[in-house]
């Protein structure tokens, strides 16, 4: 049975909603939703909830608990996989189920696999349809981290900056400043929840003493927290214990340092006492942790992406080395006019690729690819 375009559009909205239930939990896999339609009604739904767990199509078929009726349709947010991974190919499960019509919001982003799953289904005589450009764009964007990994073979490095209307990150360098209001901050928490790791420079740890957790309405979640600190200054005598090193998520904090940092025996000893793991990285000519080691460090840590929350110097290094792939730029209407206000390192008129714009109370977010 062919679905009408208005039903199809609502089924696509629903599979995207289902896919989002895996928000932050599916890495390194994509978020995927699927549903089964019989006689114009949804009869079963599924989503991919975590790597190693059943894929969305299989979840939906299992949820049905019987063979689909002849004429049933399957709607999926992403092209079904056609190769053996941790689970068997979903194309096999679909063919075995007897379903004759498959609607897919977008194709597999991996250039080596794109279209293959659809070709297999078509070769077996199934009706296969891909979403219109709008649906395709929404479904593709949802998995921007996964897509980047597939297309480049590298982790995705995202920068997040909150700027005042006159392009400053703080009213005074080295002091915490409230830049955005509650809606924008709630939005940042959702992005923190998506990324498996989060990163800041030592300057931000010293000035703001952040916790870097995702504080959501019904839950608090902690990503892997990375502090880039060439000399272990955040562990120096006289610096009080930072939240990242002492809170209940301290086991999820890693410090990235250089040989200069490791030479500071008292600071290394303090990290050991606190149970914080230190990772050694190459230093750049200025003696800092080389930003070029970032992709390798992330791969070593088994994370496919990082949400880098600054501050100014950390963001500047990543941006200038061309290592940042994605930017979240929050803009507040407030102005920081003090003589020591900290300028954003990102050019004011920078154009992002495929930008998305969101108004969040008085603040505005633009995010997109660098
Ligand atoms: N509005 C926002 O979005 C936002 C976000 C975060 C922070 N902030 C504000 O920004 C200020 C802190 O910014 P910041 O620039 O002083 O500190 P930062 O960027 O957090 O940290 C900079 C420090 O990180 C260390 N580092 C190690 N390797 C580095 C590398 N490759 N590149 C750059 N830094 C490296 C350096 O110290 P060592 O050489 O000692 O390692 C450097 O001084 C605070 O006022 C904070 O409130 C604003």
- Asked if 203 and 342 sit in the same domain, the reply is yes
- Asked if 78 and 202 sit in the same domain, the reply is no
Instruction: Among 147, 171, 203, identify where a domain stops.
Output: 147
Instruction: Among 128, 147, 166, identify where a domain stops.
Output: 147
- Asked if 84 and 197 sit in the same domain, the reply is no
Q: Which of 82, 105, 110 is nearest to 95 (CA)?
A: 82
Mutation probe of ligand 1 site: the residue of 159, 172, 264, 312 with most atoms within 8 A of C-beta: 312
User: In the prediction, which pLDDT does 328 show?
Assistant: 98
Domain that holds residue 69: 5-147
Going 182 to 198 to 238 to 269, the CA torsion angle's sign is: positive
Mark whether 273 is an active-site residue: no
- Asked if 284 and 172 sit in the same domain, the reply is yes
In the predicted structure, residue 97 carries a pLDDT above the cut 80: yes
In the predicted structure, residue 82 carries a pLDDT above the cut 90: no
User: In the prediction, which pLDDT does 5 show?
Assistant: 75
What b/e readout covers 164-193, taking b as 16+ CB neighbours within 10 angstroms? beebbbbbebeeebebbbeebbebbbebbb
Which residue in the list 38, 41, 45, 57 is annotated as catalytic?
A: 57
User: In the prediction, which pLDDT does 3 show?
Assistant: 67
Q: Which residue puts its alpha carbon closest to atom 47 of ligand 1? A: 176
Q: Could you tell me the distance, in angstroms and rounded to a whole number, from the CA of residue 184 to the centre of ligand 1?
A: 21
User: What residues flank ligand 1, with Cβ below 6 Å?
Assistant: 161-162, 169-170, 173-177, 179, 200-204, 207-208, 228-231, 233, 288-289, 291, 309-314, 317, 342
In the predicted structure, residue 1 carries a pLDDT above the cut 60: no
The string of pLDDT tens digits covering residues 288-323 is: 999 999 999 999 999 999 999 989 999 999 999 999
Report the number of secondary-structure helices (H) and strands (E) in the chain: 13, 18
Residue pair 280/263 in contact by the 8 Å Cβ criterion? no
CATH at residue 310 = 3.40.430.10
Question: Cα(237)–Cα(267) distance, rounded to whole angstroms?
Answer: 8
CATH at residue 88 = 3.40.140.10
User: In the prediction, which pLDDT does 317 show?
Assistant: 95
Q: Could you tell me the distance, in angstroms and rounded to a whole number, from the CA of residue 149 to the centre of ligand 1?
A: 27
Q: What is the pTM of this model?
A: 0.95
Q: Could you tell me the distance, in angstroms and rounded to a whole number, from the CA of residue 201 to the centre of ligand 1?
A: 4
How large a percentage of the chain has pLDDT more than 70? Answer: 99
Q: Could you tell me the distance, in angstroms and rounded to a whole number, from the CA of residue 205 to the centre of ligand 1?
A: 8
- Asked if 161 and 117 sit in the same domain, the reply is no
Instruction: Among 124, 147, 170, identify where a domain stops.
Output: 147
Q: Could you tell me the distance, in angstroms and rounded to a whole number, from the CA of residue 172 to the centre of ligand 1?
A: 13
Tokens of 260: 């200069």
- Asked if 250 and 365 sit in the same domain, the reply is yes
Packed helices 116-123 and 90-97: angle between N→C axes, nearest 10 degrees: 20
The string of pLDDT tens digits covering residues 118-167 is: 999 999 999 999 999 999 999 999 999 999 999 999 999 999 999 999 99
- Asked if 131 and 245 sit in the same domain, the reply is no
- Asked if 140 and 169 sit in the same domain, the reply is no
One-character DSSP codes across 277-328: EEEE--B-TTSSBPGGGHHHHHHHHT-SEEEE---HHHHHHHHHTT---EEE
- Asked if 254 and 218 sit in the same domain, the reply is yes
Give the total number of structural domains in the chain.
2
User: Is 50 exposed, middle or buried (CB count within 10 Å of its CB: 0-12, 13-18, 19+)?
Assistant: exposed
Q: What is the mean pLDDT of residues 169-186?
A: 93
Q: Mean pLDDT for the chain? A: 94
In the predicted structure, residue 87 carries a pLDDT above the cut 90: no
- Asked if 134 and 158 sit in the same domain, the reply is no
Q: For ligand 1, what atom is nearest to the CA of residue 176?
A: 47
- Asked if 239 and 212 sit in the same domain, the reply is yes
Q: What is the mean pLDDT of residues 273-284?
A: 95
Q: What is the mean pLDDT of residues 211-218?
A: 96
* Cβ atoms within 10 Å of 39's Cβ, excluding its own: 9
- Asked if 272 and 179 sit in the same domain, the reply is yes
Mutation probe of ligand 1 site: the residue of 168, 202, 281, 366 with most atoms within 8 A of C-beta: 202
């Amino acid at each position: 049975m062919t679905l009408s375009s208005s039903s199809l559009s609502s089924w696509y909205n629903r599979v995207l909603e289902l896919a989002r239930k895996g928000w932050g939990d599916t890495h390194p896999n994509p978020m995927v939703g699927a549903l089964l339609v019989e006689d114009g009604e949804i009869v079963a739904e599924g989503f991919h909830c975590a790597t190693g767990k059943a894929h969305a199509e299989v979840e939906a078929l299992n949820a049905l608990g019987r063979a689909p009726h002849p004429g049933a349709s399957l709607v999926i947010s992403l092209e079904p996989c056609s190769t053996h991974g941790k689970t068997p190919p979903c194309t096999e499960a679909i063919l075995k189920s007897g379903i004759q019509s498959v609607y897919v919001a977008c194709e597999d982003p991996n250039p080596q696999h794109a279209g293959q799953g659809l070709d297999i289904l078509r070769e077996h005589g199934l009706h296969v349809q891909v979403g219109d450009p709008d649906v395709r764009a929404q479904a593709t964007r949802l998995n921007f981290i996964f897509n980047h990994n597939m297309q480049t073979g590298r982790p995705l490095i995202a920068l997040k900056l909150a700027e005042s209307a006159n392009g400053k990150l703080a009213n005074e360098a080295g002091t915490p400043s409230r830049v955005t209001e509650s809606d924008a901050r709630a939005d940042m928490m959702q992005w923190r929840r998506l990324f498996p790791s989060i990163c800041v420079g030592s300057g931000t740890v010293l000035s703001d003493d952040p916790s870097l957790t995702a504080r959501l309405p019904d839950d608090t979640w902690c990503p892997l927290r990375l502090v880039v600190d060439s000399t272990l200054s955040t562990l120096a005598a006289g610096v009080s214990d930072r939240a990242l090193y002492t809170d209940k998520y301290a086991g999820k904090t890693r410090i990235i340092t250089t040989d200069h940092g490791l030479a500071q025996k008292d600071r290394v000893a303090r990290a050991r006492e606190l149970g914080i793991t230190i990772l050694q990285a190459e230093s750049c000519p200025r003696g800092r942790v080389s930003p070029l080691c970032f992709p390798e460090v992330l791969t070593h840590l088994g994370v496919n992406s990082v949400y880098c929350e600054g501050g100014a110097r950390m963001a500047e290094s990543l941006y200038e080395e061309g290592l940042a792939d994605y930017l979240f730029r929050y803009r507040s209407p407030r102005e920081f006019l003090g003589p020591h206000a900290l300028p954003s390192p990102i050019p004011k008129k920078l154009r992002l690729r495929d930008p998305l714009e969101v108004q969040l109370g008085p603040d505005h977010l633009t995010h997109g690819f660098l």
